[in-house]
Amino acid sequence: MKIGRIRGIPIYLHPSWLVIFALITVSLAEEFATRHPHWSQAQHWSLGILTSVLFFASVVFHEMGHSVVAQHYRIPVISITLFVFGGLARIGREPERAKQEFNIAVAGPLASYLLAIGFWLLTRVFPSSEMFGALALWLAQINFVLATFNLVPGFPLDGGRILRALAWGVTGDYTRATRFASRSGQLLAYIMIFLGIWEALTLHNYIGGLWLAFIGWFVLTAAQESYAQVAIRSALQGLRAGDIMSQELPTVGRDISLEEYGHEILRTGRRCHLVVANGELAGLMTIHALNHVPREQWANTSVQAAMLPRDQIHWAAPEEPVLGLLERMQNEDVNQMPVVANGHVVGIVTRDSILRVIQTRVELGRLAGLESH
């Protein structure tokens, strides 16, 4: 759910955020009721809701810290999403140097520490306001905890990214640094899961223990995905679009109906076709575009009405690195991209074809490893 835009960056709420927002609001209302029993119930709940909103605004501020520094290095920031475990800033590509990685990673915790100091100072500036003081004190404490927790050296936490930047700077090898940082993240995750289960079973703190275990599980999953991304980068290293493109260019006429086009997909299994008219390229037709048209309209709708026009097609050059091409396809949300040389379409690259290359190269790497032993 898109809720706004800051510095050109769209801010989204994941549905899971509603769960954690409700839990934190209830927890805060109960905490304020315990500490300030002379307040009314309306005061407890209104302050709980306001504090929870400001807490998540603080999370956005934390992610904006990362995002502003990334934009400084001309790295596009796709979005910021709030979800059950906090916030996530999605950047368009990885930093090019270790220094960039370090500065982007450390900016988030520094932003949270800045907020912690700011809210703490507010408690000193307005000592007579009991409700305002309770709100500011809690936000100062939680931002301090947020910053400190994120500095734990476990990837993909900010501390893990700082660790990767340091390892990258020392070794000069991004792949080795990421492997090292992701393993530290997996170790941290297993410790968190163990401690969470132990806390739930031994201390009978079921909510706190299970929550710690769930956070550990999330960190473990993210660290494993980061490790997989290293394998992907290694598998695609040195490859260019011209190396993996399919030179078979299936075409369809622009005047056929979507009903006929659907039969063509079922007959051939191809998910993408170039649309031609009078021997010239008119557009690109895909199964994705087909499914955007209601099924009952297929018989009376032509391919030309549903296709992506030629001037809106994203192109690739034969010499473009496949790794950068994959990132571009993800950012532009396309599943296939024609390859153009000297004004002519010479091939087409799809996400499926890139996936097959990754699988093949990973399998060959395992076979080579077995043969070396």
Which residue numbers are catalytic?
63
Question: How far is 329 from 350, CA to CA, in rounded Å?
Answer: 9
Question: How far is 361 from 347, CA to CA, in rounded Å?
Answer: 21
> Sign (positive/negative) of CA torsion 351, 356, 360, 363?
positive
Give residues with Cβ within 8 angstroms of 287, minimum separation 6.
Answer: 265, 271, 272
Question: How far is 262 from 273, CA to CA, in rounded Å?
Answer: 12
Neighbouring C-alpha atoms within 13 Å toward the C-beta of 221: 7
Count the Cβ atoms, other than its own, within 10 Å of residue 34: 9
Give the CA dihedral 221, 226, 229, 230, nearest 10 degrees. Answer: -130
Distances (CA, A) of 20 to 82, 85, 90, 191, 250: 10, 8, 21, 23, 49
SS3 9: strand
Q: Give the angle subtended at the CA of 156 by the CAs of 150 and 158, to the nearest 5°.
A: 35
Pairing of strands 9-13, 86-91: unpaired
Question: How far is 145 from 85, CA to CA, in rounded Å?
Answer: 14
> Sign (positive/negative) of CA torsion 41, 47, 50, 56?
negative
Give residues with Cβ within 8 angstroms of 237, minimum separation 6.
Answer: 323
Helix then strand then coil, in percent of the chain rounded to 5, is 65, 15, 20
